[in-house]
Structure 1
Amino acid sequence: MGRVEELRDQTVWKSDPHTQVKHLVYRHYLQCWMAKILQTFPEATIVDAFSGPGVYSDGPAGSSIVVAKTFLEHTAHRRFGRLNLICLEERPDRVEELQRQFTELPQSPQLKVSIQPPGAFAEQQARLASLAHLGRPETPVLWLIDPFDLKSAPFTSIRQCLGGPRDEVLFTLFTNELHRFCQRDGFDKTMTGYFGGTHWQTAIAERRAGTRKEAFAAAYQQGLQDLGLFTGGFGIKISNQSARYHLILATHSEAGLKCWAPVTWKLDSYSGQGASADTADAPSLFDEASVVDRLDVALRAHAGTEQRWETLSSEAARLNHMDKHLRKVLDHLAAQGLAIRVDPVKARTAWPEGSTVRFYAPDDVADEAS
């Protein structure tokens, strides 16, 4: 079954490395946002407007669970004010699974989870905004908008999410689909609704896939900036492929950008920006027969699983390799999107002792036709 069919037909579907990178962005940003907002205000809200079932079939947590865990595991959470987490999902079967996933989490009086009845974001936005602000427009609200398609999150809905003075949006912009479909007959109306205007057309002049996708991201940010908002963008891509999609931050305050900038720098190596078409031919240890070939093969065999550092280190030792060889191979696999550190969120090095690594197969990172 293909990924499109999985998303359409199954309650729970398999994760992919792009999703893991996106959730790392979420976790990094939430660490900072929570520390700033929840130690300043007595109460704040996060709305996960496309919650999904809360878990992937191969084990990783979904976005709502990521938010809750980030709160519960935050080193400063005992000093936090109250966090209201509002979750919306359109399909009843996924709502039921999401409810089940939350029952497995520890309870905290500082965290209130409100799973809404099944509903569509564009139809429920006004009601969600009312719930999120608690009757006070100044209540800080962070919206996570990660739709399945272009039509589910029109620009008018995104703009409405930013109605309060302390509202922020973290939006998934489908730049790959925009590049592929922007010149299809009759698609211009969808594009204009998605961008809130015709300024998207400036990107069409770009012919290269990567350049055009970046232009679409810039155009979307410009539409938000025209509303007087501060914005940031981050391309979610693997290896030297162009971005599959972009995460766009919209905020009323420069303080939001103070949290955003460190995220993009910390996750640069995860996004594949360190390996581009311009540097792909550069010589490296892996261009010739290497002493780490056997370890490379062994680690690739972990595709589809998460492995603790202790297990990987032991495996490397059995193959007569040291930890420095293990880290070198993990760097090589990460550049291809085949290895992602999923824990800890913050670390001084890419592969610290005690870390957890998720592995993927080459088919998992294969880009769609562009």
Structure 2
Amino acid sequence: MATKQTIWPLEPHTAAKHQLLAQYLDAWFPILASFNKRIVFLDGFAGPGVYEGGEPGSPTIALSRLLDHPNFAKMHGTTFDFVFNEQNVHRFQSLKTQVAQIQSGRNPWPSNVRIQTVNQSFTTLGERMLTGLEGKPLPPTFAFIDPFGFKDAPLDLIQRLVKFRRIELFIYFPYNNVNRFSTAETLADPHLKALFGTDEFKNAPKGGAGSRKQFLHDLYQRQLHDVCGFDYVQSFEMVNADNHTGYFLFFCTRDLTGFDRMKTAMWKVDPAGGRRFTDVLAGQTVLFQEDVDTSPLRAELLAHFAGQTVSIKEVTDFVVGKTPFISSHVKRKTLAPMQADGLIECPGQKTRGQYPDGTLIRFPDA
């Protein structure tokens, strides 16, 4: 996509990204609204709000997931602030038009939904938000940071914005661009250092595409964890029509339930592993979708909990927080077959193969 275009065609990987966003917001809005009087959705690079074929952009998707949510009426006690920022003036005008159309199409507009469209650089917006807080914490916020390239989302700014515990981050990591410049002494070096918050990107292996990609991926993930202070960080790889990795999306949170919800959305987009979408296979029908292979999870549980008796909660928290799998993979897909095979015992269990809260699971010695 040429950076000077105002509106462009919707590519399959972008549609997949929007699917992840939509599915997560379906859960995030009602959960946060149940115990918060105000929550914020921040779209730092909102774009024009629409695609060439009329498909909705991320601002429209975010608004529709709230306004069309079956439980929206029950969320009347929460104020929802949407901040849509777009620096490019032509895209910003398109964005304002799209937002106006959404608002005019709903009469009366709900008083607890407020929209602010901003025409600034993301850096300017972020600094202005931090100044306006005057030391107070941000309310619970979902920050969607999806820039063009690698020059506009410095880690230092991200770290200061997300330092408050109830902030979640969904951020674009432009692997293809980073890979191109990361080991050459170029004018891009200061931007890459700002992106990573370190100059360790220069240590990326020069040979071997796989090891190089893994190094850069792991470095950015580590910085999101260590510097930005997120307990849980999960990536999702987007592969373009040339079968090359274009970018990664990183979801970052300090809440295990939210982490499980986003990973669940990722497994819906990629039923084979929850980690990757490729344009090459976009639109193809899978005739025979095999069930999730949880044999790696079985082996990991046996190794990690060897010789221990632990609660079902401890097992589920480990699976969600420390493995690629999700909570729905734990009981029926993993523990029940393990119990049937005699690999685990459940002292005091009322019904074999069922694991309600409080269930204890005894793992054999290694």
TM-score normalized with structure 2 length: 0.68
Paired with 1:236 and 1:275, the residues of 2 have a C-alpha distance of 6
Partner of residue 145, structure 2: 145
CA contact (8 A) 2:7 2:48 kept: yes
Is 1:160 matched with 2:160?
A: yes
CA distance in 2, matches of 1:269, 1:206: 33
Please point out which of 268, 271, 274 is paired with 2:270: 268
Corresponding residue to 1:331 among 263, 276, 286:
286
Paired residue type of 2:153: A
1:55 paired residue number: 50
Task: Could you tell me which runs of 5 or more consecutive residues in structure 2 were left unpaired when the two chains were aligned.
Answer: 288-366
Equivalent residue for 2:258, pick from 256, 261, 266: 256
Aligned equivalents of 1:274, 1:236: Cα separation in 2: 5
Q: Which digits, 9 at most, give the CA deviation of each residue in 1:237-292, with x for residues without a partner?
A: 25793431111122233333122221221111498948899xx9xxxxxxxxxxxx
Deviations 1:159-215 (A, max 9, x none): 12212221121110001111222123224333221100133345x227443443343
Give the corresponding residue for 2:84.
Answer: 87
Q: Distance in 1 between matches of 2:62 and 2:266?
A: 19
Tell me, in whole angstroms, the C-alpha distance in 2 between the residues paired with 1:273 and 1:168: 21
In the alignment, what sits opposite 1:38?
33
Distance 1:88 1:17, change over 3 A: same
Cα shift at 1:136 = 4.9
Change (3 A) 1:135 1:34: farther
Q: Distance in 1 between matches of 2:279 and 2:57?
A: 29
| C-alpha distance in 2 between matches for 1:236 and 1:157 | 25
Q: Does 1:247 align with 2:244?
A: no
Q: In the alignment, is the contact (CA less than 8 A) between 1:235 and 1:243 conserved in 2?
A: yes
**Structure 2 CA distance for partners of 1:264 and 1:207, relative to 1, 3 Å:** farther
Question: How far apart are the structure 2 equivalents of 1:134 and 1:23?
Answer: 33
Contact kept, 8 Å, 2:237 with 2:247, in 1: the verdict is yes
Matches of 2:152 and 2:193 in 1, distance apart? 14
Write out aligned runs for 1:1-370 (5 A). Answer: 3-4=1-2, 7-8=3-4, 10-80=5-75, 81-105=78-102, 106=106, 107-116=109-118, 118-129=119-130, 136-137=136-137, 139-186=139-186, 187-202=188-203, 204-205=204-205, 207-227=207-227, 228-230=229-231, 231-237=233-239, 241-269=243-271, 273=276, 330-331=285-286
CA contact (8 A) 1:237 1:272 kept: no
Task: Look up the equivalent residue of 1:83 and give its one-letter code.
Answer: F
| 269 and 181 in structure 1: CA distance in 2 versus 1, 3 angstrom threshold | farther
Structure 1 residues 82 and 200: alpha-carbon distance in aligned structure 2, compared to 1, 3 A threshold: same
Relative distance call for 1:99 and 1:138 in structure 2 (3 A) is closer
- How many pairs are equivalent? 277
Identity %, equivalent residues: 24
* Contact 2:59/2:84, CA 8 A, preserved across alignment: yes
- DSSP-derived class of the 2:48 partner: coil
Any gaps of 5 or more consecutive residues in structure 1?
A: 281-298, 301-328, 333-370
Greater gyration radius: 2
CA distance in 2, matches of 1:263, 1:214: 23
Asked if the contact 2:13/2:278 (under 8 Å) is kept, the reply is: no
Partners of 1:240 and 1:269 in 2: CA distance: 22
Secondary structure in structure 2 of the residue aligned to 1:171:
strand
Q: For residue 53 of structure 1, report the CA deviation from its aligned partner.
A: 1.0
CA distance 1:50–1:273, change in 2 (3 Å): closer
Counterpart secondary structure, 1:331: coil
Say whether the 8 Å CA contact 1:179–1:209 is kept in structure 2. no
Checking the alignment, whether the CA contact within 8 Å between 2:267 and 2:275 is kept in structure 1 is no
SS state at 1:330 partner: coil
**Conserved 8 A contact 2:205-2:215:** no
Secondary structure of the residue aligned to 1:213 is helix
Q: Which amino acid aligns with 1:258?
A: D
Q: Which amino acid aligns with 1:223?
A: Q
Equivalent-residue separation in structure 2 for 1:135 and 1:78 (angstroms):
33
Q: Relative to 1, partners in 2 of residues 1:242 and 1:40: Cα closer, same or farther, differing over 3 Å?
A: farther
Q: C-alpha distance in 1, partners of 2:57/2:138?
A: 29
**Partner secondary structure for residue 70 of structure 1:** helix
Q: Counterpart of 2:10 in 1: which secondary structure?
A: coil
TM-score (norm 1): 0.67
Secondary structure of 1:15 counterpart = coil
Q: Over aligned residues, Cα RMSD in angstroms?
A: 3.1
One-letter amino acid of the structure 2 residue matched with residue 249 of structure 1: F
Equivalent pair of 2:236/2:275 in contact (CA under 8 Å): no
Aligned position for 1:368: none
Partner-residue secondary structure (3-state), 2:81? strand
Q: Cα gap change, 1:261/1:42 in structure 2, threshold over 3 Å: closer, same or farther?
A: same
Secondary structure of residue in 2 paired with 1:12:
coil
Relative to structure 1, is the Cα distance of residues 134 and 109 closer, same or farther in structure 2, using a 3 angstrom cutoff?
farther
Q: Which amino acid in 2 is paired with 1:56?
A: Y
